[in-house]
Chain A
Amino acid sequence: MTINQLSVFVENKIGSLVDVTKTLYENEIDMRTLSVAETPDFGVLRAIVNDPEKTARLLTDAGYVCKLTPVLAVAIDDRPGGMYRVLQTLEQHSINLEYTYAFVTRTTDTAYMVLRVADNEKAIQVLQEQNIRLVSAQEVFKL
């Protein structure tokens, strides 16, 4: 139940982001979410795309350094405290959260969270125990 997230090394300047997203656009890559984590000098662009392997190849050929990482995506309940419940569950089981970001789609009212944790197996187990719904790549792209 993991999703392959694409990350790309970019220099911290607007032109770098323009170039990467242009390559994605020109190759008609279907992208569900994109976020950038940055330091003053560089950034890591993270994206959930429909064909991560192909996209990684495209970007590598275009001269970028990129990487695929299995991450978790969960659906957040449409009621107060949905996000809190997810994070609290991870914390209670001492599962280290490297980073997280949320995204919404046009077609449903549900919000989704991407979770990058140290131990995917354990996180899946404890989240499922709390009836938190994990979302597959197929589902993300059929949304």
Chain B
Amino acid sequence: MEHYFQPEIERASRDQIRAWQDERLAKTVRHVYDHVPYYRTRMQEKGLTPEDIQSVDDLHKLPFLTKDDLREAYPYGLLAKPLSDCVRIQSTSGTTGRRVVAFYTQHDIDLWDECCARAIVAAGGTRDDVVHVCYGYGLFTGGPGLNGGSHKVGSLTLPMSSGNTERQIQFMCDLGSTILCCTPSYAAYLAESIHERGLQDKIKLKAGIFGAEAWTEEMRADIQNKLGIKAYDIYGLTEISGPGVSFECSEQTGMHINEDHFIAEIINPQTGEVLPDGEKGELVFTSITKEAFPLLRYRTRDICVLNRKPCSCGRTHVKMSKPMGRSDDMLIIKGVNVFPSQIEAVLLQQGYPANYQILVSRENNSDRLEVQVEMVPEMFSDSVSEIAQREKELINALKAMLGIYAKVTLVEPKTIARSEGKAVRVIDTRNLY
């Protein structure tokens, strides 16, 4: 039996959703035109006034916004409300250049929390659940988002934050956590740690809500088996609000975008042309209910497909696929586009663990790709030729997937560093820039 946090919204008719979007888009455009010089200038450059944007059909007229634009505007350049109306900031993990800072009014926090509450209820959460949040708390939106959503649902919230695996497992056992919220790589690590300690019978988990990094169906199956739970995907980005922009339902075939708050488009990343539903391209979001930091046509860099086929869960909001790659993560090796997620999928298919590292280097002016994988008991043999044969099969499968040769190196267990937050999987030493 499917449950909804806000059934009247989550199951609204397509016409109703469209009516909300038309009205809220026009209102948001008027609001930013009047209050954010940056938007006014960009619209005037295109000869646009707020009257030109009456409905979703007019959306394509607006210019795109990129992460670079957000960095340029740091810190207040896109702020659409007086600071005195803002109650919170969150920020992206900026590895290069300036960070992006997003502002929230109380209204913005509330709608973000509601989005996360929808995700928790879709994963089976109720006020009787114990929601164990081990996303990081702080500037990162993971912890605060799921924390807020759990409060809205009325679940008992465990604000564990990330790290300290011993304590995570102890609280999980002692307080009977039922819903786990963290990154999928940390969920896999926790599952392994729980098994190592023989505590699988002591935990009461029934579901997990995992996001903030790429993961595969194989990884999902592995986590679901090891923890005996159903694992749900969740998607979001700080720029748009945080986790909960979209979330998975029981069907597990894509994430419903909260279309009453965010309009999604898929574009050709090269030309900017809007693509029809079902085509693969870059995901673009427009937030239409936010007050302090509404973004128009923000390019996420995530490559996705949208699907409007009716869903068995009863929700009417469009579904997005799991991101199939991120142009930021994309490696160009020997002129070929390589996504780490492709390599991970092959490893899992072949029976290797998700503990791997991708090393890219340059030797004699030629790119060299190496994949280091940890040995596991299932792949080990007393016969060297048998191991070498499996290694060769892995090399062939990688070649079939990527189109280029990857050297495979088998390493001893637990020698590849495991992160408790986002996984660092790629070491690129080419220094091409």
Docked complex: B96-144 residues within 8 A CB-CB of A: none
With a CB–CB cut-off of 8 A, which chain A residues contact B76? none
A44 with B376, Cβ < 8 A, contacts A11-B411, A63-B413, A63-B414 known: no
A67 with B412, Cβ < 8 A, contacts A39-B388, A46-B382 known: no
B384 touching A9 by the CB < 8 A rule?
no
- Nearest to B377 among chain A residues (CB) is A65
Secondary structure call for the B interface: loop
Secondary structure call for the A interface: strand
Among A39, A41, A44, A63, point to the contact of B382 (Cβ < 8 A).
A44
Q: How close is A32's CB to chain B, nearest CB, in angstroms?
A: 16
With a CB–CB cut-off of 8 A, which chain B residues contact A42? 375, 387, 410
Among A11, A37, A116, point to the contact of B412 (Cβ < 8 A).
A11
With a CB–CB cut-off of 8 A, which chain A residues contact B376? 65
With a CB–CB cut-off of 8 A, which chain A residues contact B381? 7, 44, 67
A9 with B383, Cβ < 8 A, contacts A63-B412, A63-B414 known: no
The answer, yes or no, to whether A48 is at the interface (CB within 8 Å) is no
A39 with B384, Cβ < 8 A, contacts A11-B412, A63-B412, A63-B413 known: yes
Docked complex: A27-46 residues within 8 A CB-CB of B: 37-39, 41-44, 46
B414 touching A116 by the CB < 8 A rule?
no
A99 touching B383 by the CB < 8 A rule?
yes
- Nearest to A43 among chain B residues (CB) is B384
- Nearest to A98 among chain B residues (CB) is B383
- Nearest to B409 among chain A residues (CB) is A41
Q: How close is B379's CB to chain A, nearest CB, in angstroms?
A: 8
Q: How close is A96's CB to chain B, nearest CB, in angstroms?
A: 11
Docked complex: B387-420 residues within 8 A CB-CB of A: 387-388, 409-415
What CA separation (Å) do A16 and B411 show in the bound complex? 11
B413 touching A37 by the CB < 8 A rule?
no
A7 touching B382 by the CB < 8 A rule?
yes
With a CB–CB cut-off of 8 A, which chain B residues contact A10? 412
Docked complex: B352-379 residues within 8 A CB-CB of A: 375-377
With a CB–CB cut-off of 8 A, which chain B residues contact A65? 375-377, 380, 412-413
The answer, yes or no, to whether A103 is at the interface (CB within 8 Å) is no
The answer, yes or no, to whether A141 is at the interface (CB within 8 Å) is no
B382 touching A5 by the CB < 8 A rule?
yes
B375 touching A9 by the CB < 8 A rule?
yes
With a CB–CB cut-off of 8 A, which chain B residues contact A105? none
The answer, yes or no, to whether A69 is at the interface (CB within 8 Å) is yes
What CA separation (Å) do A10 and B6 show in the bound complex? 55
Among A44, A64, A99, A116, point to the contact of B413 (Cβ < 8 A).
A64
A116 touching B382 by the CB < 8 A rule?
yes
With a CB–CB cut-off of 8 A, which chain A residues contact B411? 11
What CA separation (Å) do A37 and B384 show in the bound complex? 7
With a CB–CB cut-off of 8 A, which chain A residues contact B382? 5, 7, 44, 46, 67, 69, 116
- Nearest to A40 among chain B residues (CB) is B409
What CA separation (Å) do A42 and B387 show in the bound complex? 10
With a CB–CB cut-off of 8 A, which chain A residues contact B375? 9, 42, 65
- Nearest to A60 among chain B residues (CB) is B377
What CA separation (Å) do A139 and B140 show in the bound complex? 64
Contact mask A56-69 → B, CB, 8 Å, 1/0? 00000001111101
Q: How close is A97's CB to chain B, nearest CB, in angstroms?
A: 11
- Nearest to B385 among chain A residues (CB) is A98
- Nearest to A37 among chain B residues (CB) is B384
What CA separation (Å) do A46 and B383 show in the bound complex? 10
A9 touching B388 by the CB < 8 A rule?
no
Q: How close is A68's CB to chain B, nearest CB, in angstroms?
A: 9
A9 with B414, Cβ < 8 A, contacts A42-B387, A65-B375 known: no
B384 touching A44 by the CB < 8 A rule?
yes
With a CB–CB cut-off of 8 A, which chain A residues contact B413? 63-65
With a CB–CB cut-off of 8 A, which chain A residues contact B387? 9, 42, 44
A67 with B384, Cβ < 8 A, contacts A10-B412, A11-B412 known: no
Q: How close is B267's CB to chain A, nearest CB, in angstroms?
A: 44
With a CB–CB cut-off of 8 A, which chain A residues contact B415? 11
Docked complex: B168-184 residues within 8 A CB-CB of A: none
10 A-B Cβ contacts within 8 A? A9-B412, A16-B412, A38-B384, A63-B412, A65-B375, A65-B376, A67-B382, A98-B383, A99-B384, A116-B382
Can you list the 6 inter-chain pairs with the closest CB atoms, starting with the nearest?
A7-B382, A69-B382, A37-B384, A9-B375, A65-B380, A65-B375
Q: A67-B377, A67-B381, A98-B385 are in contact. List 7 more A-B contacts (CB 8 A).
A: A10-B412, A11-B411, A38-B384, A39-B388, A63-B414, A65-B376, A65-B413
